Amino acid sequence: MAAGHAKAGDTSFGVKATQGGAEYDICSTAFLEHAFRTDAFEMKVTINSDGA
């Protein structure tokens, strides 16, 4: 689960999560920790003027 902050009317915002984070933590199964470990996730979201 990732989270971020945005105000009403913002057309872009970011969300992120980190391994061992205090709030929005990345958790995995033992297999994923071994084979596909994710230490951090970050994504920027942009809302176009047409709503897309």
Q: Which pTM was predicted?
A: 0.67
* Mean pLDDT taken over the chain: 89
The pLDDT assigned to 26 comes to: 86
**Residue 33: pLDDT band by 50, 70, 90 thresholds?**
confident
* Tokens coding 3: 């989270």
Torsion-angle region of 20 (φ positive above 0: left; ψ -120 to 50: alpha; else: beta): left
Q: How far is CA 48 from CA 11, 12, 14, 28, 51, in A?
A: 7, 9, 15, 33, 5
pLDDT digits (tens, 9 = 90+) for 2-14: 889 999 999 999 9
Residue ranges in 1-52 assigned as alpha helix (H): 30-35
d(CA 44, CA 21): 19
The pLDDT assigned to 48 comes to: 95
User: How large is the average pLDDT for residues 28-41?
Assistant: 88
